[in-house]
Amino acid sequence: MEFDGKLNAVNGHEVVLSVTDERIIESLKQFDLTVEQPEMVVKLIDERQLSPQQRRKTYALLKDIADWLGYDVDDLKQTMKGLFYVAFGIEPFSLANTDMTTARMFISFLIEFALDEGIPMSQSLKDRTDDLEVYMLQAMRHRSCVLCGKRADIHHIDAIGMGNDRTTTDHRGREMIALCREHHQLAHSMGWPSFSQLFHVKGAVPSSEMIKKLGLMTQKRMDEIDE
């Protein structure tokens, strides 16, 4: 079944769509959502053209990656776009006139590649990202300081109190951020509100899978807490 609609709201992981065709509404009502939740594929039509800032960020990332790998920038651009098409099923696009959503996704894709390959940047990736929340999680996953790119520890925004054992704490649902030793100490000394405002960063809540991969909790510990 295919139908047209409009995006009304995004609340966490809940996406609200509106549909005006009553026939579609009646067809959707036939599903018993208490028994099953049918999968959907949503194609978002973004009519906003990428901004000059997005274009500058994209080419700055491409240049740093190309310089490190010894590629020509234009050749690397075509290679990275090809990998992006395959990874996300995106149709070919031009950086001259693509939409904002595609540009934002491509920037995050380039950042992920740079983090995967350990490619040094001429500017903090925090200033290159177009999606701060995604970058916060990317840096956390790679244990890369969100500010300087050095090896990072995971800083809890709502600090675990004195006397609490990190090995027995439930880390799920907690805001965290990846910070190197120096920035970690600075965040503690300044206090999170001041640190966040000064550096324009925010915490992110990692998934249970990421928490396990970061070594913060095991599945066994999660199961014990949930019992």
Q: Are residues 175 and 204 in the same domain?
A: yes
Confidence (pLDDT) at 199 = 97
Confidence (pLDDT) at 169 = 80
Confidence (pLDDT) at 38 = 75
The pTM of the full predicted model, rounded to 2 decimals, is 0.78
Q: Where are the alpha helices (DSSP H) in the chain?
A: 22-28, 52-69, 73-88, 100-117, 125-128, 132-141, 181-190, 192-199, 208-213, 219-226
Closest-CA residue to 107 (of 71, 54, 67): 54
Categorise residue 204: left if φ over 0, alpha if ψ from -120 to 50, beta otherwise.
beta
Number of domains in the chain: 3
Q: Are residues 158 and 205 in the same domain?
A: yes
Q: Does residue 175 fall inside a structural domain?
A: yes
Q: Does residue 155 fall inside a structural domain?
A: yes
Q: Are residues 24 and 68 in the same domain?
A: no
Q: Amino acid identity of 223?
A: D
Confidence (pLDDT) at 163 = 38
Q: Does residue 142 fall inside a structural domain?
A: no
Domain that holds residue 191: 151-227
Q: Does residue 208 fall inside a structural domain?
A: yes
Residues of the chain with pLDDT under 50: 160-164
Q: Does residue 95 fall inside a structural domain?
A: yes
Q: Does residue 179 fall inside a structural domain?
A: yes
Q: Are residues 116 and 170 in the same domain?
A: no
SS3 219: helix
Q: Are residues 67 and 28 in the same domain?
A: no
CB 28 within 8 A of CB 36: no
Q: Which of 96, 130, 164 is the last residue of a domain?
A: 130
Confidence (pLDDT) at 26 = 59
Q: Does residue 141 fall inside a structural domain?
A: no
Confidence (pLDDT) at 160 = 45
CB 17 within 8 A of CB 5: yes
The length of the chain is 227
Q: Does residue 64 fall inside a structural domain?
A: yes
Q: Are residues 30 and 51 in the same domain?
A: no
